[in-house]
Amino acid sequence: MPIKILYFASLRETLGLGQESLELNATIDSVATLKNHLAARGEPWTALAKMKNLRAAINQRVVNADNAIADGDEVAFFPPVTGG
């Protein structure tokens, strides 16, 4: 079962993509390994690795990079939000 990946705000604009599905494999087991896998696609995906303070959520809960992901999860990446 694939995972669903969501991209928000400036990251969505940079990638030109709001969401995608991805089949997990043995090397993708955490938010960090997923981020590295995606960044390895090259430009513009390297933005995932370069973006400071990139946040992630699994199933709508903010998590750390070392959190595990599993088949069927929804993983969202979003930059920090500022407001005024």
Radius of gyration (C-alpha) of the chain in whole angstroms: 12
Task: Please give the structure tokens belonging to residue 72.
Answer: 């069927």
Domain extents for the chain? Answer: 3-78
Amino acid symbol at 81: V
The pLDDT of residue 3 is: 98
Tens digit of pLDDT at every position of the chain (84 positions): 899 999 999 999 999 999 999 999 999 999 999 999 999 999 999 999 998 889 999 999 999 999 999 999 999 999 887 555
The pLDDT of residue 54 is: 93
Q: Alpha-carbon distance 44 to 34, whole Å?
A: 16
The pLDDT of residue 71 is: 95
Q: Domain 3-78 maps to which CATH number in 3.10.129.10, 3.20.10.10, 3.40.50.300, 3.10.20.30?
A: 3.10.20.30
The pLDDT of residue 43 is: 96
